[in-house]
Amino acid sequence: MKLLTHNMLACHIKSVKNGFPFKIEAVRVEEIEADFDPDFLRHIFPRIEYHALREAAETLGAGGLPEQADEASLEDEDFLRAFHHALLEVVLEEGALICPETGRRFPVAKGIPNLLLHEDEC
């Protein structure tokens, strides 16, 4: 699971009011090189909750993102590189996503988060 994916997810248990962002429990994290594409990064930036991304990146040991960022930051090559790295190159292979409200644990195995609910949770 890349942090881009993590940024798009929220806990979907019915009673949960604020299920974003999932906390991350990391067992195995890999760094996988991805093609650097500034246009892609500019398109995705307004669709990302930046603070959640920064926090998740730090959890997985990928620092380097400034505390604040806005559209103007996209002109800065150093920022783009750090943003690219956090978004696409840090991959959670094994671990879990934890609902911030209920603490429900959703496993991540072979890079794929399993967000299926049990019948009694529906």
Rule CB under 8 A: which residues touch other proteins? 1-2, 4-5, 7-12, 20-21, 40, 43-44, 47, 49, 88, 111-117, 119, 122
Closer to other proteins by Cβ: residue 4 or 26: 4
Shortest CB 56 distance to other proteins, Å? 13
Least distance from C-beta 12 to other proteins, angstroms?
Answer: 4
**Shortest separation between residue 97's beta carbon and other proteins, angstroms:** 9
Are the C-beta atoms of 21 and 103 separated by less than 8 Å? no
Q: How far is the CB of 9 from other proteins (least distance, A)?
A: 5
Nearer to other proteins, 33 or 119 (CB): 119
DSSP 30-70: EE------HHHHHHHGGGS-HHHHHHHHHHTT-----S---
DSSP string across 61-88? T-----S---GGGGG-HHHHHHHHIIII
Residue with smaller CB distance to other proteins, 44 or 74: 44
Phi, psi of 27 (to 5 degrees): -105, -45
